[in-house]
Amino acid sequence: MGDSTMRNIFIPIIVAVACAGSPATAFEPTIKVAVENPSRPTIIGVTNLPDHTELMIAVRRKQSRFEAESKVAVSGGHFRSEPFSQLENDLNPGTYEVEVTMPYAMLQPSDARAAMGDNGENLSGPLVKRDQFGVTVISKTNFKVGSGDNAQLDAQARATEAKEMDRWIVDNCNSIIGYANRLAQQGVVSGGPITGSDRDAKVSACIKDLRATAPK
């Protein structure tokens, strides 16, 4: 077999391999978290998740009825939250949980999915969680504010949060009925606006339902 014949055989094979490309490499996500200024914490982190990956950072403490979230994106292997506070005040002393969650892979930006797989199939390891809806990545850690719990401050914080929640429920129910009335006036929905005692009854029922499901 001559050299020209050999070239005719191998060149198509080389071209086919080059066109096929290399499959995305599986990897184990890592997330390391640190806390700046614990009394009004900013959560900073380092991760090997691809740039533009969207993350949700949650800080929680049951004793003071505290829970807040911040949405961030990975940039250069780093991420940083906004500062957290409790109604514009310092956090109460105690232990807080930080949870960093990568929402479902299928919802991530296309350039991030190129590394992790459209459905997160390239992700593995202890931080990876799979359920019927898809693949997520979850990392949890704790940090402390002060030297120990303060029961009096915690009771005050719970009472304040309860009042704020109740105020939100009342405002939200009034807004729902107001929005329904605007739709009725515009002819988007059938029937006339809800007014008088009917409106009061609808708002009261809404408030009762939301109070029953509100966090305690």
Give pLDDT tens digits along the chain (216 positions): 554 444 444 444 333 333 333 445 789 999 999 999 999 999 999 999 999 999 999 999 999 999 999 999 999 999 999 999 998 999 999 999 999 999 999 999 999 999 999 999 999 999 999 999 999 999 999 999 998 899 999 999 989 888 888 999 999 999 998 898 888 888 878 888 888 988 989 889 999 899 888 876
d(CA 174, CA 168): 10
Q: Which two structure tokens, joined as six digits, stand for 154?
A: 């915690």
d(CA 85, CA 13): 62
pLDDT at 24: 57
DSSP the chain: --HHHHHHHHHHHHHHHHHH-PPPPPB---EEEEEESTTS-EEEEEE-SPTT-EEEEEEEEGGGTEEEEEEEE-BTTEEEPPPP-BTTBPPPSEEEEEEEEE--GGGS-HHHHHHH-TTSTTB-STTEEEETTEEEEEEEEEEEESSS--HHHHHHHHHHHHHHHHHHHHHHHHHHHHHHHHHHHTTSSSS----HHHHHHHHHHHHHHHHHHS--
Top-level CATH class of 31-145? mainly beta
* Residue whose tokens read 């915690």: 154
Domain segments of the chain: what residues?
31-145, 151-213
Closest CA to 149 of 61, 78, 28: 61
CA angle 105, 106, 112 (to 5 degrees): 60
* Partners of 101 in the β-ladder: 56, 138
